[in-house]
Every structure is written in structure tokens, then in C-alpha cells.
């Protein structure tokens, strides 16, 4: 399984088109700051958006905590922010949460939940998720894979809430 968390920079600029002008300006300001390694500014821009429930900002905060950029490295905080974004359908956060479960980083290692979130991330549009799901499946039993698939279907029916 690929163990690296996807970069927050990948694809986030495309997400700017989904929000309001104020959102885009604040998120974009944070994104530009992050790219310039001005993590304090990125954190100041993204934290309020994340607290208001913005999935892109939540995913970005997860990345900051995972990597220790502008905040102390904290895998539990990374998992928290990734989960909040994943439950809103953010494919990057879903992929990253799956990776955390696969590695047991910030959460208890759970191949079933790793497989489930990779499956969901693939359906949500993450191009790398299928390959990672298949790699995770190599260490799972047929019953575990079936359970992961059932959980993914149930999670999708619940709109990602409480997964």
C-alpha cells in the first residue's frame, strides 16, 4: 500500500470553483500561503472555514496536522479533520483517512475500514484509490473484503455520516 498522504496542493485549486467568492478568497489566500510555506497564514485562513464545516479547509487542516506544518505533528488531529471532510464527500480526505486506517496512524489499524474508505474515495473520484484498495485487499480475507464492501455501501447510503 502506498503510505504517503496525498499533497494538499493537488487538486485543491480546482475546488475553489465550488464556493462563494468570499470562500474562494479565504481558501485561496490559505492555499497560496501554504504553497509559500507561510503556514501561520494558511492556518489562520483555513481554521475558521474548517470550524464552519468547510470540507476543503478541514482536509487541508488534516494535512497540516499530519505533516506538522504550522502546527505540532498530531495524527489524531489529522484523523479528526480528515474524518470531518470525508463525511462531507471530500475524496482527498477519504483517501487520506483510508491511509491512516491502513497504517494505524492516529487511529487503530483496521484494514476493513481502510478498504472501505479507499472504495468510497474511488467512487468520489480519487484516481489512486482503487489501486490502494486492491493493495489493502491482498492482506485481507474474503470475509473481510465482503464486510468492507458492505460497510462502503451502507456508508454511501448514509451520505458518509457515521461511518
Percent of the chain whose predicted confidence (pLDDT) is above 90: 79
Would residue 91 count as lying in a domain? Answer: yes
Q: With contact defined as beta carbons under 8 Å apart, do 92 and 59 qualify?
A: yes
Q: Is 121 in a helix, a strand, or coil?
A: helix
Would residue 110 count as lying in a domain? Answer: yes
Mean pLDDT of the chain: 87
Select from 102, 105, 30 the least CA-distant residue to 67. Answer: 105
Would residue 163 count as lying in a domain? Answer: no
Helices within the chain (DSSP H only): 12-15, 21-35, 39-51, 55-67, 75-86, 91-103, 111-123, 129-137, 142-157
d(CA 145, CA 141): 6
Q: With contact defined as beta carbons under 8 Å apart, do 94 and 121 qualify?
A: yes
For the entire predicted model, the pTM comes to 0.83
129-156 tens-digit pLDDT: 999 999 999 999 999 999 999 999 999 9
107-119 tens-digit pLDDT: 999 999 999 999 9
Would residue 7 count as lying in a domain? Answer: no
Would residue 53 count as lying in a domain? Answer: yes
Would residue 1 count as lying in a domain? Answer: no
Q: Is the pLDDT reported for residue 41 higher than 60?
A: yes
All three cell numbers of 147, joined, read 464486510
Q: Residue 27 sits in which domain range?
A: 12-157
- Reported confidence tier of residue 83, pLDDT bands at 50, 70, 90: very high
Mean pLDDT of 74-100: 97
Q: Is the pLDDT reported for residue 13 higher than 80?
A: no
End-to-end, the C-alpha distance of the chain in Å comes to 22
pLDDT score at 162: 87
pLDDT score at 20: 46
Percent of the chain whose predicted confidence (pLDDT) is above 70: 85
Q: How many domains does the chain have?
A: 1
Q: Is the pLDDT reported for residue 6 higher than 60?
A: no
Would residue 4 count as lying in a domain? Answer: no
pLDDT score at 4: 45
Provide the CATH number for the domain around residue 145. 1.25.40.10
Q: With contact defined as beta carbons under 8 Å apart, do 50 and 61 qualify?
A: yes
Amino acid at each position: 500500500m502506498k503510505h504517503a498522504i496525498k499533497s494538499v496542493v493537488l487538486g485543491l485549486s480546482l475546488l475553489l470553483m465550488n464556493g462563494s467568492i468570499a470562500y474562494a478568497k479565504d481558501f485561496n489566500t490559505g492555499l497560496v500561503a501554504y504553497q509559500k510555506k507561510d503556514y501561520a497564514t494558511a492556518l489562520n485562513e483555513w481554521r475558521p472555514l474548517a470550524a464552519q464545516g468547510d470540507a476543503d479547509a478541514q482536509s487541508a487542516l488534516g494535512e497540516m496536522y499530519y505533516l506538522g506544518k504550522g502546527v505540532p505533528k498530531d495524527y489524531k488531529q489529522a484523523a479528526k479533520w480528515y474524518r470531518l471532510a470525508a463525511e462531507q464527500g471530500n475524496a482527498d480526505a477519504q483517501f487520506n483517512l483510508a491511509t491512516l486506517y491502513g497504517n494505524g496512524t492516529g487511529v487503530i489499524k483496521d484494514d476493513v475500514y481502510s478498504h472501505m474508505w479507499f472504495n468510497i474515495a474511488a467512487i468520489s473520484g480519487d484516481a489512486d484509490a482503487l489501486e490502494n484498495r486492491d493493495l489493502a485487499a491482498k492482506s485481507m480475507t474474503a470475509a473481510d473484503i465482503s464486510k468492507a464492501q458492505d460497510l462502503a455501501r451502507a456508508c454511501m447510503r448514509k451520505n458518509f455520516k457515521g461511518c
